[in-house]
Amino acid sequence: MLKLQDIPRIFLEESGLTLKEGVVLSKYSSFRIGGPADYFLEVREPVDLNKAIQIARHHQCPFYVIGRGYNLLFDDSGYRGLIIRNLASGIKFEADNYSLEVCSGTCLSDLLNKAISEGLTGLEFLAGIPGTVGGAVYGNAGAFGQAIGDRVLEITILGDSGQEIPVTREELQFDYRHSALKNSHKVIVKTRIEVEPISGNEVRRKIEDYLEQRSKKLPPEGTACAGSFFKNPVHGGKKIPAGQLLEQAGAKGMKVGQAAVYSGHCNFIINLGGATCLQVLTLAEELKEKVWKHSGIRLEEEVIFVSATSSML
Ligand SMILES: Cc1cc2nc3c(=O)[nH]c(=O)nc-3n(C[C@H](O)[C@H](O)[C@H](O)COP(=O)(O)OP(=O)(O)OC[C@H]3O[C@@H](n4cnc5c(N)ncnc54)[C@H](O)[C@@H]3O)c2cc1C
């Protein structure tokens, strides 16, 4: 039976990869919350992502893959096992079928810049959304009525023995902030994204417009948060903004410890400095309860809670 303390030695022997120990996860989440992970590894090449996952699976070491940590809430007690931070990036434009092949650790901003530089349209709605392509595909990130799932042609995931498996858009069952990956816990290696050619300045104009609209709604840059905390619920066949429901229910001004509702938009929980995961979760429960009592609608979290024992094994 493998002992957790043997993991760094096994990684080094089997892959040459060096794990860090006791890394504080708050540094890797835009919420700036989270205790120490037993083990932590940053990968910059798809081959290393593949190796790390194969070794962790083979030795039954609990692991969890993150991107840039813009949609996560880590546990106060950190993580029991290995956190793999995926920075494996790269983008290839395939002119014959107008698609971009993107490594999963690529930042969305780099993807958008590549599309602009190649004279391509279709991804403007991604402007200002922080994080990686892997994180975006996992949660079907989007804005302004569009989402990345509309543009995904195919992704490649890692199979149990490390083989790369193609998965089509249909199989991913994209829905509002949802993909089938949320149930399967598979790791995305790369994604093929559909684009179209365009000439002129239309793309830049759209991006500027989107960024301006975002700046009116979002907390100021640098605020510790993880984006919209709750999904916009569907009620009576209509999507209702969670922020509106929260405001009507009296969420403005609510706080638990250092976790507070952002004054400019009730669907953001912000860390005022030194907030704990428990404070955020307690505030979230109070907010859900308030909305339920006020409107009979149940809010569901968009932010992903990574408990100390969450695992993609
Ligand atoms: C200020 C702010 C504004 C935001 N605005 C928006 C917005 O407009 N629209 C929107 O949709 N989101 C928004 N978000 C949330 C966030 O930007 C997106 O969810 C983004 O896609 C997260 O990417 P990430 O790399 O940070 O993922 P992480 O937060 O690191 O991870 C999120 C989830 O994806 C999984 N994941 C990451 N990489 C992989 C992989 N390679 N394979 C399998 N699973 C993987 C992780 O396991 C985790 O469960 C915002 C966040 C902030 C802080």
Domains of the chain: 4-86 (3.30.43.10), 91-214 (3.30.465.10), 219-306 (3.90.78.10)
C-alpha 94/C-alpha 241 separation (Å) is: 38
Ligand 1 centroid to residue 56 C-alpha, Å: 23
Q: What is the pLDDT of residue 199?
A: 85
Of 148, 95, 102, the C-alpha closest to 122 is 148
Instruction: For residue 177, give the amino acid letter.
Output: R
Q: Which residue among 111, 138, 232 has the greatest number of ligand 1 atoms within 8 angstroms of its CB, and so is best to mutate? A: 138
Q: Is 228 a catalytic residue?
A: yes
> Taking the chain, what is the end-to-end CA distance rounded to the nearest angstrom?
16
CA distance 154 to 149: 10
Q: Compute the average pLDDT of residues 252-271.
A: 98
Q: Quote the ligand 1 centre to 72 CA distance (angstroms).
A: 7
Query: Element (H or E) spanning 48, and its range?
Result: helix 46-58
Distance 191 CA to ligand 1 centre (A): 15
Q: How far, in whole angstroms, is CA 245 from its chain's centroid?
A: 24
| Share of residues in the chain with pLDDT > 90 (%) | 94
Q: How far is the CA of 131 from the centre of ligand 1 (A)?
A: 5
Residue range 44-57: mean pLDDT, rounded: 96
Distance of alpha carbon 33 from alpha carbon 257, whole angstroms: 13
Q: How far apart are CA 205 and CA 192, in angstroms?
A: 25
Q: In the prediction, which pLDDT does 294 show? A: 98
Among this protein's residues, is 302 annotated catalytic? Answer: yes
Residue 39: which of 59, 9, 19 has the closest Cα? 19
Say how far residue 279 (Cα) sits from the centre of its chain.
Answer: 21
Looking from the CA of residue 226, the nearest atom of ligand 1 is 53
* Smallest CA separation from ligand 1 atom 33, residue: 135
pTM of the shown model: 0.97
> Alpha carbon of 295 to those of 46, 235, 248, 261, 299: distances in Å?
47, 10, 9, 19, 11
Q: How confident is the model at residue 161 (pLDDT cuts 50, 70, 90)?
A: confident
- For residue 194, the cross-strand partners are 99
Mean pLDDT of 43-69: 96
Residue 237 pLDDT: 87
User: What is the predicted pLDDT for the residue at 235?
Assistant: 86
Q: Which residues line ligand 1 (CB under 6 A)?
A: 30, 65-72, 86, 104, 129-132, 134-136, 138-139, 141-143, 181, 187-188, 218, 225-227, 304
Q: What are the DSSP E strand ranges found in 53-161? A: 63-66, 72-74, 79-86, 91-94, 99-103, 120-121, 142-143, 146-147, 152-158
Is the pLDDT at 33 greater than 60? The verdict is yes
Lowest mean pLDDT among 193-197, 227-231, 232-236, 279-283: 232-236
Predicted pLDDT at 60:
93
State the catalytic residue, choosing from 29, 104, 179, 228: 228
Closest CA to ligand 1's atom 35: 135
pLDDT of the residue at 155:
98
The arithmetic mean of pLDDT across residues 199-228, rounded, is 94
Nearest CA to 41 out of 30, 33, 32, 54 is that of 54
Residue appearing with tokens 């835009």: 30
Is there a catalytic annotation at residue 104? no
pLDDT for the residue 54: 95
Rounded to the nearest angstrom, the distance between the alpha carbon of 110 and the centre of ligand 1 is 15
223: tokens are: 């605020």
At residue 1, the pLDDT reads 56
Ligand 1 atom having least distance to the Cα of 68: 26
Q: How far apart are CA 180 and CA 174, in angstroms?
A: 7
Contact (Cβ atoms closer than 8 angstroms) between residue 33 and residue 282: no
Residue 254 bridge partners (DSSP): none
Ligand 1 midpoint to CA 260 (Å): 21
pLDDT > 80? residue 302: yes
Can you give the pLDDT at residue 4?
A: 81
Atom 11 (ligand 1): residue with closest C-alpha?
A: 141
The active-site residue out of 57, 68, 151, 177 is: 177
- Per DSSP, 41 falls in state E
